[in-house]
Amino acid sequence: MPERYEYPRTEFDPKPRRPRTPGERRHIYFFLLLALAGFVAIFDHVTKKFIVHHLPPGRAHDVIPGLLRITHVVNTGAAFSFLADTASPDLVRKGLILFSVAAVLIVGAMLLRSCDCFSKTCIALALILGGAIGNLYDRVVYHYVIDFIDVHIGPYHWPDFNFADSAIVIGACLLVLEIFRPQPEDDKASA
């Protein structure tokens, strides 16, 4: 096969692209995952502001009668109002803030260390991070979390929750699925 002729370069030729190193691509994925976490936190904040401005505390609006209601509930406790009726609510609030800060730092560090692609694990960590930031903001600024989604299925009632709680639960479920997913075996192990 004849050799290919190379034309001399001119000033009009596009500049050759410098190949990306794996570390550069890793930063792109990290910032995109941070953007996902930021979207979750911002969307959570916007939905809570909407509820605060359009629905008085304790009121509800039926979306799907008998199944889904939008409410305005003030939650001073942890998830699903756990610890809401304690004798020392200020101590509970400070403990929950401390726990939330630790969770944000740990999940953020895990995201930074291990997420160099868009895997289920990385997306799950980003969802958990965004949800934790959303609820942490409420605890620091308002001293409580605003919950507004109320689900009934027949006689069963799920405690009120918000968008941040949903992101945390979806992220946790993705992590559980990833943990129990069968892992491919190495060829060396079978040989």
Q: What confidence category does residue 187 fall into, taking pLDDT thresholds of 50, 70 and 90?
A: very low
The answer to whether 139 touches 93, Cβ cutoff 8 Å, is yes
pLDDT higher than 80, residue 1: no
The answer to whether 61 touches 70, Cβ cutoff 8 Å, is yes
Determine whether 165 is an active site residue. Answer: yes
Position 154 scores a pLDDT of 85
Dihedral, CA of residue 89, residue 95, residue 101 and residue 106, to nearest 10:
-140
Q: What confidence category does residue 3 fall into, taking pLDDT thresholds of 50, 70 and 90?
A: confident
Sequence spans of domains, the chain: 25-181
More confident residue, 5 or 141: 141
- For 66-106, how does the pLDDT look when each residue is reduced to its tens digit (9 = 90+)? 899 999 998 876 665 555 556 566 777 788 899 999 999 99
Mean pLDDT of 39-46: 97
Of the candidates 44, 138, 150, 165, the residue annotated as catalytic is 165
> What is the residue-averaged pLDDT of the chain?
83
- Least confident stretch, 17-31, 41-55, 59-73: 17-31
pLDDT higher than 90, residue 19: no
Position 79 scores a pLDDT of 61
Of the candidates 147, 150, 160, 187, the residue annotated as catalytic is 147
- Least confident stretch, 1-5, 125-129, 177-181: 1-5
Position 89 scores a pLDDT of 66
Partners of 152 in the beta sheet? 157
Position 113 scores a pLDDT of 83
**Buried b / exposed e along 158-178 (16+ C-beta atoms within 10 A):** eebbbbbbebbebbeebbeee
